[in-house]
């Protein structure tokens, strides 16, 4: 580890914290229906869209209606994307004549992109046409990201409102999120990426002749527009198979740093939206402090593990850290930082192969996902995941002091705690359940490229990533098989929507409650004590749930490495 490396990490955290109130203030105005700098341009378009869709923007919805509209919206998205994949061979903008995507892979991919997972059991440049990349995948990148944000806002309204039955209007929220937040940021962002050398073209793949005289096909396409939203919307699906390690998706150190910032900016900003809407910005900063504490701990462990390398290499006199699977352009610190960022958020982008990290270095990204990616988290999903843990934390605090738990003026009662626990238990149900099946089912076990604990970790990471709607791959696992495509799609669906329904039920329940004024017995939720308790509850719940599985994978692999055994 070096001083320059730590300065990069400190600079990153400082810029994210500085951008949080700016992003939060703007998003609050958008979702409150207030006028913004873009209103004079976008308001007429917004009203036109409501008229075309038959939407009354003044009419709000109950939580169940809001959730039903969201589910119906994604059923339509799934059908459209699945059809595009299956009909790809006969559709235009297919310069290299890609064939139809197989049924099981189409099912997995369609489910992946509507759930904001962007898990890819395929190579983008060798499987998808330009039309599918643009109209199918990039289109869903916008809509799935917007969905996560508006669901978080609906839950915030549950905490902020009192004695009402509605939590907003899904159609209005998702229109405003897309028009006023995602598109206006992605347009200049994409232009910046083009300026830095990223392709944005509908031209055919380029044929080149190497110095040795060999012929090489260089894939290009509408890359910048997809990369902008894949990072900002914490989607992660790459245009190229190598994702953000590919020079056309991540040309240099500047684009790498900007991409890392864009992964966190909206998720961090939503904590400020929470504080503003509940009338106490310190509440939002307390959530951000808990997120950042977990994030910095994860970065420190991963950076330390990768910088120290492996015991076997060190015994041979080979030092300088573990550079296997990393881009020389970025080095150890930027690769470790990127890995923790992309798994602390539900963003599957990678600029290094996690499969090549040391055992402990690879464990932290895995644990980030298993904790529900509440460390900043995906746009929206991270905040409502964190708020579920907040409910559990104030419940624990209430047990310790012997009074009904409260949070931002709302009594937290049995219904909210039950719904929070239901949502939290969904992750281990899918992650551990499918992993247990895969490692004993012969056709699934045959897909593991490595034996021993490393092979187990490959499977555990795959189902953690899909259930957690992350999308990054540990690599080393052949996932494009009927079993993994089907089971993975189920894990993505359950991990996304079965967690949303309890969260929205909590939003509806809280919105109907009266606000209670704070008293001398109210547990303060804006100070260091609450932040520490919240972090502790998250780590304890995560440890009790996943430690046995981690012990079978990366932990035992680390101990074996120390003894001179590799897998």
3-class secondary structure for 217-277? Answer: EECCCEHHHHHHHHHHCCCCCCCCCCHHHCCCCCCCHHHHHHHHHHHHHHHHHHHHHHHHH
- Using DSSP's 3-state secondary structure scheme, residue 411 falls into strand
Both structure tokens of 175:
């229109």
Whether the per-residue pLDDT at 314 is higher than 80: the answer is no
Q: What angle do CA 189, 258, 336 make, to 5 degrees?
A: 145
**How many percent of the chain have pLDDT more than 90?**
69
Average pLDDT over residues 453-465: 93
| Packed helices 381-401 and 139-160: angle between N→C axes, nearest 10 degrees | 30
Q: DSSP letter at 128? A: -
Alpha-carbon span 147 to 234, nearest angstrom: 12
Phi, psi of 124 (to 5 degrees): -55, -50
Whether the per-residue pLDDT at 212 is higher than 90: the answer is no
**Residue 319: alpha-carbon gap to chain centroid:** 34
Average pLDDT over residues 115-139: 91
Average pLDDT over residues 20-41: 94
Q: DSSP letter at 205? A: P
What pLDDT, on a 0 to 100 scale, did the predictor assign at position 165? 92
Looking at 305-319, 386-400, 531-545, which range is the least confident one? 305-319
> Per-residue confidence at 374, pLDDT binned at 50, 70, 90?
confident
Whether the per-residue pLDDT at 516 is higher than 90: the answer is no
Which helix (H) or strand (E) segment is 207 a member of? strand 206-209
What pLDDT, on a 0 to 100 scale, did the predictor assign at position 438? 94
> Per-residue confidence at 1, pLDDT binned at 50, 70, 90?
confident
Average pLDDT over residues 515-524: 79
Phi, psi of 37 (to 5 degrees): -65, -25
What pLDDT, on a 0 to 100 scale, did the predictor assign at position 567? 66
Whether the per-residue pLDDT at 403 is higher than 80: the answer is no
What pLDDT, on a 0 to 100 scale, did the predictor assign at position 42? 94
Task: Note the pTM of the prediction, 2 decimals.
Answer: 0.92
DSSP secondary structure of 42-77: HHHHHHHHHHHHT--TT---BHHHHHHHHHHHHHHH
- Which residue, chain included where needed, has tokens 């509806």? 508
Both structure tokens of 38:
């873009």
Tell me what the pLDDT averaged over the chain comes to. 91
Cα torsion angle, 213, 217, 219, 220, sign: positive
Q: What is the pLDDT of residues 323-353, one digit of tens each?
A: 888 988 899 999 999 999 999 988 889 999 9
**Each residue of 360-399: b (16+ CB within 10 Å) or e?**
bbbbbbbbbbbbbbbbbbbbbbbbbbbbbbbbbbbbbbbe
Average pLDDT over residues 496-512: 92
- Which residue, chain included where needed, has tokens 């990426």? 193
> Per-residue confidence at 292, pLDDT binned at 50, 70, 90?
very high
Both structure tokens of 159:
């905490």
- In sequence order, what are the residues at sequence separation of 6 or more whose Cβ sits closer than 8 angstroms to the Cβ of residue 78? 110, 111, 114
Whether the per-residue pLDDT at 153 is higher than 70: the answer is yes
Looking at 387-401, 431-445, 491-505, which range is the least confident one? 387-401
Alpha-carbon span 406 to 393, nearest angstrom: 10
Average pLDDT over residues 439-461: 90
- In sequence order, what are the residues at sequence separation of 6 or more whose Cβ sits closer than 8 angstroms to the Cβ of residue 64? 504, 508
Q: Both ends of the chain: CA-CA distance in Å?
A: 26
Both structure tokens of 246:
């590919």
Q: DSSP letter at 206? A: E
Average pLDDT over residues 351-356: 90
Whether the per-residue pLDDT at 169 is higher than 90: the answer is yes
Q: What is the pLDDT of residues 54-101, one digit of tens each?
A: 999 999 999 999 999 999 999 999 999 999 999 999 999 998 889 999
> Per-residue confidence at 237, pLDDT binned at 50, 70, 90?
confident
Nearest of 476, 294, 451, 259 to residue 385 by alpha carbon:
294
> Per-residue confidence at 419, pLDDT binned at 50, 70, 90?
very high
As a three-state string, the secondary structure of 277-335 is HCCCHHHHHHHHHHHHHHHHHHHHHHHHHHHHCCHHHHHCCCCCCCCCCECCCCHHHHH
Nearest of 212, 155, 144 to residue 178 by alpha carbon:
144
């Amino acid at each position: 580890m070096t001083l320059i490396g730590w300065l990069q990490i400190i600079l990153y955290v400082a810029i994210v914290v500085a951008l949080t109130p700016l992003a939060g203030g703007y998003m609050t105005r958008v979702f409150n229906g207030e006028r913004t700098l873009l209103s004079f341009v976008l308001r007429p378009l917004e009203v036109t869209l409501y008229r075309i869709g038959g939407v009354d923007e003044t009419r709000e919805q109950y939580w169940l209606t809001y959730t039903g509209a969201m589910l119906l919206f994604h059923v339509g998205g799934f059908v459209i994307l699945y059809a595009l994949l299956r009909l790809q061979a006969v559709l235009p903008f297919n310069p290299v004549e890609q064939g139809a995507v197989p049924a099981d892979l189409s099912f997995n991919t369609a489910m992946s992109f509507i759930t904001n997972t962007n898990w890819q059991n395929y190579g983008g440049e060798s499987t998808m046409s330009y039309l599918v990349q643009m109209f199918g995948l990039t289109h869903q990148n916008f809509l799935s990201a917007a969905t996560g944000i508006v669901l978080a806002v609906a839950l915030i309204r549950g905490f902020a409102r009192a004695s009402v039955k509605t939590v907003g209007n899904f159609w209005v929220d998702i229109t405003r999120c897309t028009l006023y937040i995602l598109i206006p940021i992605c347009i200049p962002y994409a232009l910046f990426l083009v300026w830095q050398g990223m392709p944005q073209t509908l031209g055919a793949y380029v044929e080149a002749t190497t110095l040795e005289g060999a012929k090489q096909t260089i894939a290009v396409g509408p890359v910048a527009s997809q990369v902008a939203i894949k990072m900002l919307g914490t989607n992660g699906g790459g245009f190229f198979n190598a994702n953000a390690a590919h020079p056309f998706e991540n040309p240099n150190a500047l684009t790498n740093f900007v991409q890392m910032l864009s992964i966190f900016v909206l998720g961090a900003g939503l904590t400020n939206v929470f504080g503003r809407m509940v009338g106490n910005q310190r509440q939002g900063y307390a959530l951000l402090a808990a997120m950042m504490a977990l994030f910095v701990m994860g970065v420190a462990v991963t950076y330390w593990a990768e910088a120290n390398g492996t015991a076997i290499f060190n015994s041979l006199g080979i030092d300088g850290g573990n550079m296997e699977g990393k881009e020389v352009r970025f080095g150890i610190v930027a690769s470790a930082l990127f890995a923790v960022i992309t798994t602390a958020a539900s963003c599957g982008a990678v600029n290094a192969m996690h499969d090549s990290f040391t055992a402990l270095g690879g464990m932290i990204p895995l644990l980030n996902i298993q904790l529900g990616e509440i460390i900043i988290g995906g746009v929206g999903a991270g905040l409502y995941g964190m708020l579920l843990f907040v409910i559990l934390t104030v419940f624990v605090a209430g047990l310790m002091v012997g009074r009904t738990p409260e949070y931002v003026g709302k009594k937290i009662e049995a219904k909210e705690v039950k719904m929070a626990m239901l949502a939290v238990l969904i992750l281990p149900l899918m992650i551990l359940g499918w992993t247990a099946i895969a490692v004993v089912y012969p056709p699934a076990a045959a897909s593991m490229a490595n034996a021993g604990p490393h092979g187990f970790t490959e499977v555990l990471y795959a189902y953690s990533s899909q259930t957690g709607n992350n999308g990054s791959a540990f690599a080393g696992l052949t996932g494009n098989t009927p079993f993994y495509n089907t089971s993975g799609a189920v894990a993505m669906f359950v991990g996304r929507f079965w967690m949303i329904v309890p969260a929205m039920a909590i939003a509806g329940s809280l919105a109907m409650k009266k606000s209670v004024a704070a008293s001398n017995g109210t547990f303060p939720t804006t100070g260091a004590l609450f932040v520490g308790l919240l972090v502790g509850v998250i780590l304890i719940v995560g440890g009790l749930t996943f430690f046995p599985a981690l012990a079978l994978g990366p932990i035992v692999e680390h101990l074996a490495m120390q003894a001179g055994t590799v897998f």
